[in-house]
Amino acid sequence: MSGPHRKPLDAPHLAHLASHRHDIQHHALETPAVRTLAPALRHTHSGYVHSIETAATLDGPGIRFAAFLSGCHFRCLYCHNPDTWKLKHGLHVTVDDLMAEVERYAEFLIRYEGGVTLSGGEVMVQDRFVETLVRRLKARGLHVALDTNGYLGDHVTEELLEDVDLWLLDLKAFDDARHRRLTGQSNAPVLNFARRLSEAGRPMWIRFVLVPGLTDDLGDIARLAAFTAGLATVERVEVLPFHQLGAFKWAELGLDYTLAETPAPEEAQIGEVRAAFAQHGLKVY
Question: Which residues are CB-contacts of 206 (< 8 A; sequence separation ≥ 6)?
Answer: 169, 171, 228, 231, 234, 236, 237, 238
| Cα(189)–Cα(97) distance, integer angstroms | 32
pLDDT at position 8 is 59
| 54-70 pLDDT tens trace | 999 999 999 999 999 99
Determine the residue type at 148. T
Q: Mutual orientation of helices 188-199 and 218-229 as an angle, nearest 10°?
A: 30
| Cross-strand partners of 93 | 47
Task: Using CB atoms within 10 Å of the CB of residue 104, give its burial: 0 to 12 exposed, 13 to 18 middle, 19+ buried.
Answer: exposed
- The backbone region for 71, taken as left when phi is positive above 0, alpha when psi lies in -120 to 50, beta otherwise, is left
Q: What is the overall mean pLDDT for the chain?
A: 88
CATH of 6-278, one of 3.40.50.720, 3.40.50.300, 3.20.20.70, 3.10.50.30: 3.20.20.70
pTM of the prediction?
0.87
Contact 42, 49 (CB under 8 A): no
Across 192-202, average pLDDT:
98
pLDDT on residue 14: 47
Cα 150 to the center of its chain, rounded Å: 9
* Beta-strand relationship, 204-210 and 234-241: parallel
Q: Where are the domains of the chain?
A: 6-278
Query: Tell me, what's the pLDDT at 88?
Result: 86
CA atoms within 13 A on the CB side of 145: 29
Closest CA to 181 of 280, 54, 78, 68: 78
| pLDDT for the residue numbered 42 | 55
**Alpha helix segments (H runs only) across the chain:** 95-103, 106-111, 127-139, 158-163, 176-183, 188-199, 218-229, 247-252, 267-278
- Compute the average pLDDT of residues 106-125: 97
Residue 6, beta-bridge partner list:
53
For β-strands 91-94 and 234-241, DSSP reports them as unpaired
Higher-confidence residue of 180 and 88: namely 180
Beta strand spans in 11-143 (E): 46-56, 64-69, 91-94, 115-119
Letter for the amino acid at 262?
Answer: T
